[in-house]
Amino acid sequence: MKLYCSNGSPFARKVRIVLAEKGLAYEVDIQDRLRPVEEALGPTLAIPVLDDGGRRLWESDLIVDYLLKTYPESRPDSPSLPPLSPWMTRPDRHWDDATVLATLATLGSSIVNIRLMSSDKITPENSDYLARQRIRIERCLDWLEERVTDDGFAPGWFSIMDIAFLCPVAFCEAREIMPWRGRRKLDALFDRHRDRPSLLATPVNARH
Ligand SMILES: N[C@@H](CCC(=O)N[C@@H](CS)C(=O)NCC(=O)O)C(=O)O
């Protein structure tokens, strides 16, 4: 299995956390920059891309869904930690959880957009559209705070929803993109998992 990613990408980190939780071995092709278009690994031009024995997949949620279904075994680091959920969405709450995942994907895209556009000196201060992205981030966080519980998005589990929240906000904080804290349950969720082995094994590195 080979994972193509860029340093620090919150979408690639989501996949790497799931691989670490499952104890799956993989090669990694990691770059510090956006890959030039000529070196793109698929039509979306984006990473992460997973190659598993010739099957090539992109879009982090699709890759995670593939990993959960193809490699159902889990290797818990400690019985005292909540286990990785075996599903993307709880079977009895599918549409609720799918809406949370979609909102988290949008939150992550807006955070990454602000970061990527800053290399071209386009910021929320000089671009109405990026100012709108910042409002979108705030609105998504407010909406998520109403839905998350004191025990994460799926109580009793370390869920893909939890991971899809932790990765972009950790990136937002590490790259000083904008303040995101200030919501009690989301703040607590972030702090509760920060020392989980799969998170410590996949730190947000120095550059994008
Ligand atoms: N929805 C995609 C987003 C992936 C994404 O935006 N990746 C960024 C790096 S964090 C990228 O490769 N961007 C390249 C580009 O925009 O051309 C996913 O979940 O995998």
The pLDDT confidence band at residue 75, using thresholds 50, 70 and 90, is confident
Q: Which residues contact 167 (CB under 8 A, 6 or more apart)?
A: 10, 11, 13, 14, 17, 108
79 belongs to a structural domain: no
Are 115 and 190 members of one domain?
Answer: yes
In this predicted structure, what is the pLDDT of residue 76?
A: 75
The closest residue, in CA terms, to atom 2 on ligand 1 is 59
Are 101 and 29 members of one domain?
Answer: no
- For 86, the token pair is 């075996």
CB neighbourhood size of 68 (10 A): 18
CATH number at residue 25: 3.40.30.10
Mean pLDDT within 73-94: 92
Nearest atom within ligand 1 for CA of residue 47: 12
Decide: pTM greater than 0.75. yes
- Domain span at 31: 2-70
**pLDDT, tens only, 138-194:** 999 999 999 999 999 999 999 999 999 999 999 999 999 999 999 999 999 999 999
Are 19 and 54 members of one domain?
Answer: yes
Ligand 1 first shell, C-beta below 6 A: 6, 9, 11, 34, 45-48, 59-61, 112
pLDDT above 70 coverage of the chain, percent: 98
Count of domains forming the chain? 2
pLDDT at 207 over 70: no
Distance 85 CA to ligand 1 centre (A): 24
Around 7, how many Cα atoms within 13 Å sit in the side-chain half-sphere?
A: 9
Q: How far apart are CA 67 and CA 53, in angstroms?
A: 13
152 belongs to a structural domain: yes
Mutate to test the pocket of ligand 1, among 4, 5, 9 (most ligand atoms within 8 A of CB): 9
- Check if the beta carbon of residue 43 is closer than 8 Å to that of residue 20: no
Nearest atom within ligand 1 for CA of residue 59: 20
Are 103 and 24 members of one domain?
Answer: no
42 belongs to a structural domain: yes
202 belongs to a structural domain: no
- For 125, the token pair is 């201060």
CATH number at residue 120: 1.20.1050.10
21 belongs to a structural domain: yes
Mean pLDDT of the chain: 95
